[in-house]
Amino acid sequence: MGARSGSYSRNIFDEEKRYYAALLQQAKAVVDADVNDVLESQMHMLQRVVQNLLGDGSPNNGFLIVGTGANNDFTVKGGDGTIEGAGRIWVSGFCGLLESDTTFKSTSVTEPQINAVSTGLTATVLTDTSTDFTFGGAPNNLAGLTLVPDVTDGTGYTIASNTATTITVSGDMTLTAATGDHYRVELSTPGGARTDVVFLDCYLDEIDSVEDPNLSHPLGGGYESMRRLQLIQTIRVRENSSSVPVNYVDSDGNQHYTLHIATLSRTATAAINAGMVTDVRPRFEHTLQELSYTDRDEIEELRPSEQGTPDNTVLIRGGNYIKSTGEANVTVADGVADAVTFPVVTANSRIDLLYLNDAGNAGRVAGVQAASPVPPDYPLDVQPVAEVTIDETGTVVINDADVKDVRAFFNLSPHPGENLLWNGDFEKWDKGTSFSPSATEYEGPEGWGGAGANIIRNATYKTIGSYSVEFQNQGGGRLFTINERITGGNATGIEDWHWLKGKWVTFSIDVCNFGTASVNVTLEDGVGAVATTLAGGATPGTFTRATVNLKIDNSATMIRPKINYTAGSVADKCYLDGAVLVEGFYIDGVAYKPSPAEQPRAERYYQKHRFGILALGRSDGTNYMLGNHNIPNRAKMASTSPTITVSSTVCYEDGDNSDVTSAHSIMTSADEISYGVYIKGATGGWTNKPSQWQGIVELSAAAS
């Protein structure tokens, strides 16, 4: 406790020097300063990582302040009694923890602790050189309050005066306490309305073998080799103030970090009730694996919780969110859902959905009461906020345990923030400027398919790049699909998608539908689907951003975005551009086409089929195509001028749209290197396939 007193030769740590490691030399003495420099460098590096990536906040109820009606006391929430389930909070890169609940007036001195330790004690003066009793202000701010110099004893003494590091009292504290005891300044009863702030004061304290005997080794009857730095986590209250002291350095040279965790709105009573406490801890609402494109300020935004005084409503924090159309932000204030009440059940229990709509209003979708209730279906045009469980047949009182946070965030993933569509800007047209795929055919590297519709390149009406897609109905209702064809012949959608199971995925696309029939924009996973419908009659060149969100089922068999007419005539058509498929919810700034460095999906599949056997297949008599473009190391292949050979009559083209029926040097021109090799059933186009064809396609050069 107090200033560092260990036997150290010197302290040479300097973060500005950016040292990452120490190099031990042979036949040289090991010096304590070198070892300590390495250890402090590593500690500070970890601290900065946590500060920059997480910031301040709690992933659970750790250090949540709860009013229980006790006089001048409150509960500090911990965990389930285990270190694994401890309540935690991060402050400037350091993690405070409480295994179990405690109270501000607790008499326990077991670790983890929330009370400070005195560094000196006389009859009338308590000293703590590792704090600032004035909160950075004038002295004597604590005069008239009560000091308990030993929390296990509980005897209090009236404070006469104080400085930054000392408290002077009336009476003899040595009768009940000693140096090194945990102490506390008691809360006072307000004479009227008063605002107090509760904050966490943290610093690293040197611990020796007197404070922790386990640091004394049995060598020579007790040998202290190394001391430790322990995180001190003190709960402090500043009465009659709404400001929290900033980070400071105490008189011992220790750096302190402070964090505001609660505000007490007190009245002229000793009792501190639940409604007097406002939790202001920053919150981490997700695991580290899910934390990415949301910073800590945004995490608190729209957070659902019980009210200060729990009732039949849910408190939603103010913040911003994206409209369901993906077009703009909506801003709401604290308490936006206060008017949304949750009614009682007549039996069993019920799960309702609390949401925010595009107008910034909160609403409720009622579930069905049952012995084992399930949440209702989520509407497509709202932002889900919470699933709320109701089990009261009388007065409804909603507590945090009844509120399940279902806000969606961008997540860390194999492709964070990346458009999962290869050709979402519709700039690649290596099959020509138009084509009409059949019902089961999926065309080359563009990643597009269809069911009888005409797909035409358009350079007039577009929202990004040089081209858009003109999708012509051709009568009766036709289908246009956007597929990850580059991932290898999966005609139902994206192949390498299993990491998305259980996660939210968004499909968003610009649509200009100026025909008479409506067009549907859909995202499906083989189990469920979501769709939004756009009416016809749009002015050519006037695009609407259509966005659909789907939580991918754990039993999903595919992920496929599609656009289709349900009816209509051959005159119906629409323009499509700027397609985005992304994990999480769509925001502006997602790349319409990944850069080459961000195309692991294209590479991963083909690493199974590098060289040697490219593909083995059989036609079903209608439509067949083997594809293996975007081959890894294709530049090396070009340098070796490999040839392609087939075991039966077949044709292929290699990116320059020319059919070849004999052995031929491939991938020797720029377009061939870019687009790769496509094997087709026969000459004459993609629909003229032999009824029964099978074969093995090989490359003569086995590059690696």
Whether 471 and 387 share a structural domain: no
What number of CA atoms fall less than 13 Å from residue 596's CA on the CB side?
5
Q: Which of 595, 622, 650 is the last residue of a domain?
A: 595
Our separate counts of H helices and E strands in the chain read 5, 46
Task: Calculate mean pLDDT across residues 269-275.
Answer: 93
CA separation for the pair 149, 394 (Å, rounded):
48
Q: Are residues 582 and 624 in the same domain?
A: no
Residues 243 and 300 in one domain: no
Q: What is the pLDDT of residues 218-270, one digit of tens each?
A: 876 788 889 999 999 999 999 999 889 999 999 999 999 999 999 999 999 99
E strand intervals along 42-180: 65-66, 75-76, 87-91, 94-98, 102-103, 116-117, 120-121, 125-127, 146-148, 157-162, 166-169
Q: How confident is the model at residue 430 (pLDDT cuts 50, 70, 90)?
A: low
Is 45 or 688 the better-scoring residue by pLDDT? Answer: 45
> Do 588 and 468 fall into the same domain?
yes
pLDDT recorded at residue 451: 65
190-203 in b/e burial notation, b at 16+ Cβ within 10 A?
beeebbbbbbbbbb
| Spatial CB neighbours of 298, under 8 Å, sequence gap ≥ 6 | 319, 320
83 and 205 part of one domain: yes
State the CB neighbour count (10 A cutoff) for residue 46. Answer: 12
Range of the structural domain that residue 367 is part of: 288-405
**Which among 205, 200, 163, 166 has a CA at the least distance from the CA of 183?**
166
* 99, 83 contact by CB (below 8 A): yes
Do 623 and 656 sit in the same domain of this protein? yes
Of 278-287, 355-364, 371-380, 628-637, the poorest mean pLDDT is in 628-637
Find, among 75, 325, 35, the residue nearest to 198 by Cα.
75
Q: How many distinct structural domains can be found in the chain?
A: 4
349 by Cβ neighbours in 10 Å (0-12 / 13-18 / 19+) ranks as middle
Torsion of CA 387, 393, 397, 399, to 10 degrees: -40
- Checking if the pLDDT of 667 tops 60, the result is no
Is there a single domain that holds both residue 251 and residue 389? no
Nearest CA among 405, 403, 307, 395 for reference residue 345: 395
The answer as to whether 160 is a domain residue is no
pLDDT at 487: 32
- Indicate if 249 and 313 belong to the same structural domain: no
User: pLDDT-based confidence at 2, cuts 50/70/90?
Assistant: low
Looking at the structure, do residues 556 and 453 belong to the same domain, yes or no?
yes
User: Quick check: is 558 in a domain?
Assistant: yes
Contact indicator for 645, 615 with CB cutoff of 8 Å? no
- Residue 406: the pLDDT is 80
Does residue 267 sit in the same domain as residue 292?
no
Per the domain annotation, does 113 fall within a domain? no
% of the chain surpassing 90 pLDDT: 33
639 falls within a domain: yes
Q: Which of 451-460, 609-618, 673-682 has the lowest mean pLDDT?
A: 609-618
Query: Whole-angstrom Cα distance, residue 637 to residue 642?
Result: 6
Q: What is the mean pLDDT of the chain?
A: 75
In a domain, residue 355? The reply is: yes
**CA 591 – CA 231 distance, rounded (Å):** 43
Query: What's residue 381's pLDDT?
Result: 75
Give the type of residue at 548: V
In a domain, 98, yes or no: yes
CA dihedral 644, 648, 654, 660 (to 10 degrees): 100
pLDDT at 131 over 90: yes
Domain for residue 176, yes or no?
Answer: no
Indicate which CATH number applies to the domain containing 544.
2.60.120.260
Round the CA-based radius of gyration of the chain to a whole number and report it: 34
pLDDT band at 515 (very low <50, low <70, confident <90, very high): confident
- Asked which of 226, 258, 279 is the last residue of a domain, the reply is 279
The residue type of 403 is V
Instruction: Assess whether pLDDT exceeds 90 at residue 446.
Output: no
> Which of 252, 279, 306 delimits the end of a domain?
279
Whether residue 447 sits in one domain with residue 397: no
Take residue 20 and report the two structure tokens written for it.
Answer: 């990452």
Does residue 81 share a domain with residue 209? Answer: yes
pLDDT of res. 562: 84
**Based on the number of CB atoms within 10 Å of its own CB, is 270 exposed (0-12), middle (13-18) or buried (19 or more)?**
middle
Phi, psi of 637 (to 5 degrees): -60, -40
CATH of the domain at 364: 2.80.20
Helix (H, G, I), strand (E, B) or coil at 610: coil
Instruction: Compute the half-sphere exposure of residue 270: CA atoms within 13 Å on the CB side of its CA.
Output: 6
Does residue 429 lie within any of the structural domains?
Answer: no
Distances (CA, A) of 284 to 417, 456, 599: 20, 47, 30
